[in-house]
Structure 1
Amino acid sequence: MMNCETFYKFCLSLPGVTEKMPFQAFPAARSILAFYIGNKIFCYFDIDKFDVCTVKCTPNEIDELKEWYHAVDAPYNMNRKYWISIRFNDDMADKEIKYWVRKSYDIIRHSLK
């Protein structure tokens, strides 16, 4: 069962990752913790709720993931063509969630100049 501390440590374990709480100006999003590679977010979640993480994904995989997993849904406040939200402790195994976080990290890392 995924918990906040384990997930946090996993995200920070990826090479070159930094963390920020970039949405302090928005009262509803003050507890959002984002993980960056370079100056771009690849994953974020609410540290107070810890119910969902949002990651970047390739457009051709998003519909399939939504069909396969109840845990996968449209992201809150991000482009639905490139981002997904994954509910923790639903029908996607923790190992699989980590796979998609790593894939998001790789997508962003490869996009950096």
Structure 2
Amino acid sequence: MDHLKIRDYLLSKPEAWEDFPFYPDVAVMKVKNKMFATLSPASSKNSDPNDATPDDNFYRINLKCDPHEAVQLRDVFESVVAGYHMNKKHWNTIILNGEVPMGELQRMIDNSYALVLKSMTKAERRSLETAYSEEELYGDLSYK
């Protein structure tokens, strides 16, 4: 799966921007300084080559998720696991190996973005809600 298409979709969200606070190869996608996704290559310079798996060749994305849905997605897709270096109750890591269809990935991204918007103060959300339509911000989701 093309990680650049995923990156483009992440950055297409209203006022989304990319930061690199952890490592130069780990992109953190934010809105209003709040993280809604990370995108990174799977292999790390510190990885033990003897522990390599086929999934080490794929990019990974971390996305915020409702705790119930997070578990359901892990049950449905082998490439969806508990969030790596994240709160495992609220974040999933998706291995971009092609198992999860692009439409489902976009829905997960929209969901993560909407959950982060929901956690903002009314004042933070208001500036977004006056500049963008509800559909642009929340898509088909009802998190407002």
Which residue of the partner structure matches residue 108 of structure 1? Answer: 116
Instruction: Specify which structure has the higher proportion of helix.
Output: 2
The unaligned stretches of length 5 or more in structure 1 are: 24-28
Supply the RMSD in Å over aligned alpha carbons: 1.6
C-alpha separation in 2, matches of 1:57 and 1:108: 10
Bigger CA radius of gyration: 2
1:30 offset after TM fit, Å? Answer: 3.2
1:4 offset after TM fit, Å? Answer: 2.2
1:38 offset after TM fit, Å? Answer: 1.0
- Kindly provide the CA deviation profile for residues 43-102 of structure 1, in whole angstroms up to 9, marking residues without a partner as x: 111158552100000011111111111110011110001000011124211111111011
The unaligned stretches of length 5 or more in structure 2 are: 44-57, 122-144
C-alpha separation in 2, matches of 1:38 and 1:108: 10
1:54·1:84 contact (CA, 8 Å) conserved in 2? Answer: yes
TM-score normalized with structure 2 length = 0.69
Aligned residues: 107
Higher relative contact order (CA 8 A, sep 6+): 1
Sequence identity (%): 27
Which of 27, 32, 43 is matched with 1:33 structurally? 27
C-alpha separation in 2, matches of 1:54 and 1:92: 14
Q: How does 1:14-93 map to 2 (within 5 A)?
A: 14-23=13-22, 29-47=23-41, 51-93=59-101
Structure 1 segments of 4 or more deviating over 2 A?
47-50
* Change in CA separation of 1:47 and 1:91 when aligned onto 2, cut-off 3 Å: closer
Instruction: Specify which structure has the higher proportion of strand.
Output: 1
Residue 41 of structure 1 aligns to a residue in which SS? strand
TM-score normalized with structure 1 length = 0.87
